[in-house]
Structures are given as C-alpha cells and as structure tokens.
Amino acid sequence: MGPYQRFILPRLLDRDMQWDGHEKDRAEVLRTATGTVLEIGFGSGLNMRAYPPIDKLYALDPSPGLLAIARGRANEAAFPVEFLEASAERIPLPGHSVDTVVSTWTLCSIPDVRKALAEVRRVLKPGGTFIYIEHGLSPAKQRAFFQRIVTPFSRAFCGNCHLDRNIGRELASAGFSSLSLDAHEEPGKPLFFAYSGTARA
C-alpha cells in the first residue's frame, strides 16, 4: 500500500462521503438494523450516528487509514463497537454469528465481490438480513457508456471503485433466500446509479 492509499485517499473518501445526499440515505438504510451487526467497508465511521439502538457493531475495513478516522468517531455510538481490519472477502467471524450485515457504497470497490457476498451469507444467522445501498452500472446506455470510460480512473484514484459493476446481477446470483432491489438515479451525480434494498440469508 503506497503513501496515496495509506494517507491521502482515506481523507479524500471521508470528505466525499459526507455529501449531504448520503445522510438521508444512511438514515433510511440503517433504520432496520437489529441485534449484532457487521458493517463491511466501514470506512471512516460516518454511519455510526445513523444506527438505531443495536446490541453490538463489528466495524470491518481493510484500510488502516480509514479505521484510524473511524476510531476517533467511536464515542458517537451508543453501543459497543469492535474494529476489524480485514477484507469482506475473508471476514474474521464465525459462521451464523450476526443478525444484520450492512454495506453502504462498498461492493463497488471489493476486488472479489462474489466471494465477499458468500462471506456475508456465511456469517449471517439463518433468516438474518443483509442491508445495502450501492452504486453500480446504470441501465441507461448513455450513462453506462460513460461509467465504463471513467471506471479505470475511479479504480486507480478512488479506492478501486467500479462505477460499472452490475450490482443487481451480483446480488441476484449470490444465493440469498429473498432479495429486494430498488434501482434509482443519484440526483446531482450524473455518473452514478444507485441500488438499495435487503436480502435474507
């Protein structure tokens, strides 16, 4: 991991993810989180203040720079927080150990998203819920064309972010027992397209 990824990128991501439009999304997505929660791609901890009362939060992220920022926000939480410096492709938790898994704008950046989703299913208790909001490939051909052009640059400079990843297809093929999928444009962000919903283990 070079100096840009270790020191500069975490600060840039923290600033970008504080966009006003994300605050409403966070509150809407996280309101149904219950019990013991694992958040993959925890980042700089901006979700902490949006959680309802839960039993415990496992905060997982592979970036030591982002987790350092997140630890500084841990006092915002009204529940225990345990930080895990690891990738969602290899979650360091036992199988069937959490009630809810949360992913907010994370699946676009994981190198092996299918392996990560298999890990999500592994750690969820039977009937547990995967809650997500992501950006990915737009069904509109013109927007998708530009997403594919920009993606090599977003991967290089924005933490491996794939603007053109087909999130709907990945979730549909992940083997969840049920899946809700809402696809919609992100206002004011012409290169982004959003997917949100829930899936059951």
β-strand partners of 84: 60
pTM of the model: 0.92
Grouping H, G, I as helix, E, B as strand and the rest as coil, residue 44 is: coil
Q: CB-based contacts of 86: which residues, under 8 Å, 6+ apart?
A: 60, 61, 62, 92
**CA pair distance 95, 194, nearest whole angstrom:** 29
Q: How far is CA 15 from the centre of its chain?
A: 16
Predicted pLDDT at 11: 67
Between helix 64-72 and helix 9-16 the angle, nearest 10°, is: 50
Residue-wise pLDDT tens digits, 107-153: 999 999 999 999 999 999 999 999 999 989 999 999 999 999 999 99
**Rounded to an integer, what distance in angstroms lies between the CA atom of residue 71 and that of residue 41?**
14
Confidence class for position 23, pLDDT limits 50, 70, 90 = confident
C-alpha span between 35 and 81 (Å, rounded)? 13
Tell me, what's the pLDDT at 2? 75
CA of 174: how far to CAs of 25, 90, 183, in Å? Answer: 24, 16, 18
DSSP-assigned letter for residue 57: E
Quote the CA–CA distance of 105 and 87 in Å, as a whole number: 15
- Tally of residues, the chain: 201
Taking residue 197's Cβ as centre, other Cβ atoms within 10 Å add up to 17
- pLDDT for 6: 72
Cα angle, residue 91 at apex, residues 86 and 97 outer, rounded to 5°: 135
For residue 183, give Cα distances in angstroms to 40, 135, 145, 147: 21, 9, 18, 16
Q: What is the percent of the chain where pLDDT is above 90?
A: 78
Question: What is the three-class DSSP state of 194?
Answer: strand
Whole-angstrom Cα distance, residue 183 to residue 194?
6
